[in-house]
Amino acid sequence: MLMRSVLGIAVIVPLVGCAVGNTDAPDAEAQSSTTAAAVVVVERTGGGDAVVARFVRARQGVLDDVSLRAAGVQDLPAAGSCVTTFDPPAAARSVDLLDVGAVSLDRTMLFPRTMPDPAGMVSGYFYSARSTDVYAPAQRLSVRASGGQDLPDGFAVNVATPRDLSELRVTTTATGLDVGWDESDARDLVYVDVVADGNIVTRCATVDIGHATIPTNVDEGTLSVHRIHREAFKTRGIDPGEVRFDFSRIVAFRR
């Protein structure tokens, strides 16, 4: 059995002073174009943690799911759903990646990097770093931005990190696979991807009740099991805010 783990944290928030106003007002378009979001992702593999932070503003119109997707924010599946057809993503909208000053997660400093974009849909830069100890499960994590040209006040939040997705078990059924794990939490979302030949062929989502039944006729491949946990926060410069944790394990299976 091959296994590796991934933790993701996504913060998706409007910045204070950037709320969309009355759409009937003369300056409604100018107000909506300033809507912004912050996204921080920590990915854990066997070789350590890779951290990427993006602070996003739409160039035109409201910052919606299409704009966030252009900046790398993944859509979450709906609980109780299974899909086997994956349509191409909607056309991206132009977005800017913002200067928010120095960014850190506890003792890990992130460094600004230029965003490659030959199509000209995304401008600015993102923040990234690699480390072996960005976080500890079931502890606290501080996310800070000192403030920069596009967010002068910066922000600081302190959130609880999720528990490990431990003791993952996969068994075969007449119609697919049954996946189980310990320490469930009904406040969380779990989704499972069935991957065969490098492609996602089935994705099912459920409230975290400790197990999921995945209908599939794939005989051999991998399962990517994701637990999504959300933490709301309020702080100067960001209100409301959300920290989204995505902790996952990848397991090989054979029917």
Radius of gyration for the alpha carbons in the chain, expressed in angstroms and rounded: 19
Residue 240 confidence class, pLDDT cut points 50, 70, 90: low
pLDDT at 24 over 50: no
DSSP 8-state secondary structure symbol assigned to residue 15 = B
Whole-structure pTM value:
0.76
What would the mean pLDDT of 212-216 be, rounded to a whole number? 94
Number of domains the chain is built from: 1
> How crowded is residue 24: how many other Cβ atoms within 10 Å of its Cβ?
6
pLDDT at 164 over 90: no
Q: How far apart are CA 254 and CA 220, in angstroms?
A: 4
Q: Which domain holds residue 121?
A: 3-254
Query: Residue 198: what pLDDT?
Result: 92
pLDDT for the residue 151: 82
